[in-house]
Structure 1
C-alpha cells in the first residue's frame, strides 16, 4: 500500500492564524523511490530531504528557512512521523494529501501522526509560519527511514513585498497568489518577499534590487544560486517605492538592472514584470522590460494586471493587500500567462514518448549533444552517463551501431555489454512489477576505439512509463588526461578515481578528460585542456558547452603529465594554468577548485604558483593538493597510469579532501 504525508506551514509574521484544519488544493509530492533505495535518517543533513527556498543548513543540526514560503519535503517509510522543533513555533501539517492541520506554539518533538498510518510509503512537506523557525529533523519508527521524494522539475520564484508574502491573510504565504500560482502550475515555488520592501533601497526602505541576491531578507551573505535554478521569475515591485521618494528614473534604472542581474543568475528562466495592483511606476516598468528586449533578452514579459481585482471585495484594506479571494483571483489570472510562456517546452516534453531521448525524466550527466539530433543524443568526453526511473518489468536500450556499454538496474552491479547494437534487452530475466532505476554509460570513444556512442531511447513494457530518478544534490567535475579517463583500468572511466570519488560521496560526476591531453596549447596538435575545457567536444573548436546545463560544486584539475617533452616552459605552463583556473571560476562561480600535483611530480612549482595567484587575487576557493606518496609501484600498470588498485588508492586520499571542503 502506498500512502503520502504532507506537512507545510507559513512564513514568519502575520496577525491571525487558523486553529483548525483547512483543505489545501494543488500538487502534492508523490514518493518515487524503489525498494532498494538507501534509507535516510531524517536528520537536517539527510540527502533525502529536499529544501525548497533559501534554507540555511550551515549548522548541520538546525535548518533555517529564510525569506517567506520556504518549505521542505521528503518521503519516508513506517507508520508514524514526528518533527523536532526548538522553541515555540507555528506551522501547518497535512497527512497523505488531506487537510492541513495548524500547529500553534508547539515545541520539542511534535507528533504529526497521533493516529498511526497504514504500513507503506509516505511523503512529507513542512513550512513554518512564525516563532523559532528552525527544523531540527524527523523522528521515525524503528527500522524506518526517509527516501528521496519525487519533486517537480520546474521551479517558479516570486519577488515582491507584503502582497507577494500574503500579508493580512489568515495563512500568509499559503494564501498568497505566489503560493497558489506555484501549486496551480505543479511547480516548486519560492517567495523572495517581505512586507515593506521596495525595489530601490532608499530612505530606509530595503531594496530588492540588491537584497534579492542575499541568503536572507536581512544581512549581507550572498545566496548560493547553484542550490537551485528557477524556470520562471515573477517580479511584483513598486508599491512601496512611491512613499520613499524614488524618482521615475531611479526606479527604471533599478528595474532594468534587476532584470539584467536575474538573467545572469538564471540564464534560461522566463521573467515576468508584473504591473502593481495600485498601478505605480507602470511606464518605468514597461521601459525596463523594453530595454531588456532590445538588448536581446526575449524571455522578459510585462504583465498588465488591470481589472484583475475589484475594489471593496478582493482586498483586506485600502492599501492594496488582497484578501484570500483576491489572491485566488490573482493566481487564476497569472498562472495561465506563466504556463503559456513555459508551454511550448511543456507541450513538446509532453509529446515525447516515455524513454525517448527528449523525455524530461531521462537525465544526462556530462556533456551530451542533445541538439544535433532529436533521436540520438551523443555523449562527449569521458564518464558521461544517462539515468532514469521506469515502471514495469522489462527495459530495452535502443542502439544504432556497435558500442561497448555498461548498464546497472536498481543500484545493482553494472553489466557489461560487448559490441551491443540494435535493441538491447537489459532485463533478460523480468524484474518484479514496480518502480525501478536504470543507469547506462558507454565506453569512451577516443584513440583506437571508435564505437557508436549514441542514446536512441528505451523500449518499455506496454503501459509503462518513466519517472525522475533520485538525483544527487552535488556534482564534481574532474579535468585531466588519460589518468583521469581511467586508461589501462578494467572498466576505463568507471574504474577511474573521478568516477569512484563521485560514487563514494554520493555526487554526480563528470570526467572532462581525454588520453594524451595536455594543459598548454602548442604546435604539435596535442589537445590543450586550457583551450578545450569550454567546448562540447574535446576534438572540435565549436560549439561552446552551455554551462547553464549544470553547475559543478567541486572541480578537480590533474594536468601537466603530458606537457613535459613538448617544449613547454615554466612561464607558459603557469600562465596557462592561471587561465584555466579563471575559466573554471567563470563557468562555476561557487565551486571549490582543487589543483592536483601530478602523480609524477611535473610542473609542481608552477601549479602552486597559479593557485597562489588565484588566492591572492581574491579567489578563496582554490586549493593545491600535494599527492606525494599517494601511489606505490604495484598500483601502476606502467610507469604512468594507475591500475584499478591505484585509482582506488587515489580515491581513498582525495575523497576526504573534497568532502571536507564541501561539508
Structure 2
C-alpha cells in the first residue's frame, strides 16, 4: 500500500513537471521552405525573396514563432508582411543591423498557418531567410491553383500605396510599399489563383519615367529585374495560365522636368510586340492580357489604348493558332497614394474593376 502511495505521488510530481515544461521548439531551415515568386537559395543556403509579393507559408502550434530574416545592407531597411490564419495582419520592418529573430505572435496556442510576403520590389534588395522556429512547425506547399503573372511598373509593385505608418513625403521609398494589397495579388486572391509579380518602379516598354533606360524588355530575363544582372531567371520554374502586362505609364511620362523626346508610338508598339513575343517564347500556352493605365487621362489615354490595340492585332496576326491577346482599358482614376500613385484603397477599386476580366480569362 505504501509503495502504491509513493508511486502515485511520484507520478503526480512528474505530471506537474511535464505540464510546466516549455513546448519543444522545432526548426525549418530555408531550403525546406516552398516559396513562390522570384526567389533563390543563396550560397549560405538561405532563401532570398527577391521580387514584390514573393512568399512562402508554414504552420505551427503555440502562441508564437521566430522568423530569422535579414537584409544584405546593414545600413538600410526593408519590409515583410504576413497573413495569419487567412487574415492579413501588417507590415514588419526588417533592419539591416537587427539582432535576433522577428517574433510573430498568435492570439491562442492552437495550430496556425502563416504566409510571409515581401512587401517591396526587387530594387530594394532581397529579404534573406535562414530559418523559422516554432513548435511543430511544418512548411506549407503552394496551393495547386491557376497562376497569374503580373508584369508592370510601380503601380503593379504596390509602391507608394501605403502611408498608414509613415506619411507621404517622408521616409524612404520602400516605406510606402505594400505588394500584398496591390491590385494583382488582390484580384488573384479574390479569384482563388496564385500570383507572381514581375514589376519595377519607373519601368516602361522602351524607356523609364525620366530617362531612356532601362526598359522592361531589357531586365525581364534577369532574376533581379535589374540591369547588368548576370543571373538569369529560369522560366521553367512556373508556367502561368495568364500573363498580365501593364506598361506605358512611364513611356508616356513627361520626365518630371527631365528633357526627353516626345512619346514615340511607333517604337512603343514595335518594342511591345517584341516583348510579347519574348514572353510567348517563355510561356507558349499562356493567355496574354494587355492592361492600360488608370493614371493616364484625356488624349494620352486614347493614344495608349490605340497602341495596345495595335499590339494585339500584330500578335494575333503573327500567332493565329494561339489564344488571342486580351485587352483591358482602366477607367481613369484620381490617385490617393504617395507621389501620384494609387493608395491601398485605390488598389482595391482597381482589383474590383479587373475581377470580371480575369475571371473570364481563367474560365477559358
Cα distance between partner residues in 1 of 2:245 and 2:197 = 10
Matched, 1:611 2:297: no
TM-score, normalisation: structure 1: 0.42
Please point out which of 276, 281, 291 is paired with 1:581: 276
Aligned to 2:168: none
Cα deviation for residue 479 of structure 1 reads 0.7
Cα deviation for residue 430 of structure 1 reads 5.1
The verdict on how the C-alpha distance between 1:586 and 1:389 changes in structure 2, with shifts beyond 3 A counting, is farther
Aligned to 1:358: 31
Number of residue pairs matched by the alignment: 299
Conserved 8 A contact 1:480-1:559: yes
Conserved 8 A contact 1:407-1:426: no
Aligned to 1:88: none
Cα deviation for residue 390 of structure 1 reads 3.8
Cα deviation for residue 653 of structure 1 reads 1.3
Cα distance between partner residues in 2 of 1:641 and 1:590 = 33
The verdict on how the C-alpha distance between 1:637 and 1:394 changes in structure 2, with shifts beyond 3 A counting, is closer
Mapping 1:76-155, distance limit 5 Å: none
Aligned to 1:381: 51
The structure with higher relative contact order (CA 8 Å, sep 6+) is 2
Cα deviation for residue 380 of structure 1 reads 2.1
Cα distance between partner residues in 2 of 1:638 and 1:389 = 35
Matched, 1:484 2:156: yes
Mapping 1:68-467, distance limit 5 Å: 354-359=27-32, 362-370=33-41, 372-391=42-61, 394-401=64-71, 402-419=77-94, 421=98, 422-427=100-105, 431-432=109-110, 434=111, 436-445=112-121, 450=124, 453-461=127-135, 464-467=136-139
Cα deviation for residue 484 of structure 1 reads 1.0
The verdict on how the C-alpha distance between 1:616 and 1:376 changes in structure 2, with shifts beyond 3 A counting, is same
The verdict on how the C-alpha distance between 1:489 and 1:412 changes in structure 2, with shifts beyond 3 A counting, is same
Cα distance between partner residues in 2 of 1:354 and 1:475 = 30
- What root-mean-square deviation, in Å, do the aligned CA atoms of Structure 1 and Structure 2 show? 2.6
Please point out which of 607, 620, 624 is paired with 2:323: 620
Aligned to 1:493: 179
Cα distance between partner residues in 1 of 2:56 and 2:212 = 31
Cα distance between partner residues in 1 of 2:234 and 2:68 = 26
Cα distance between partner residues in 2 of 1:472 and 1:631 = 35
Cα distance between partner residues in 1 of 2:285 and 2:268 = 25
Conserved 8 A contact 1:478-1:557: yes
The verdict on how the C-alpha distance between 1:414 and 1:469 changes in structure 2, with shifts beyond 3 A counting, is farther
Cα distance between partner residues in 1 of 2:86 and 2:338 = 33
Aligned to 1:82: none
Cα deviation for residue 415 of structure 1 reads 3.1
The verdict on how the C-alpha distance between 1:589 and 1:431 changes in structure 2, with shifts beyond 3 A counting, is farther
Conserved 8 A contact 1:499-1:509: yes
- List alignment gaps of at least 5 residues for structure 2: 1-25, 72-76, 163-176, 255-259
Aligned to 2:216: 529
Cα distance between partner residues in 2 of 1:428 and 1:662 = 35
Greater Rg by CA: 1
TM-score, normalisation: structure 2: 0.74
- List alignment gaps of at least 5 residues for structure 1: 1-352
Cα deviation digits, residues 350-385 of structure 1 (max 9, x gap):
xxx9521111xx221110122x32432222232211
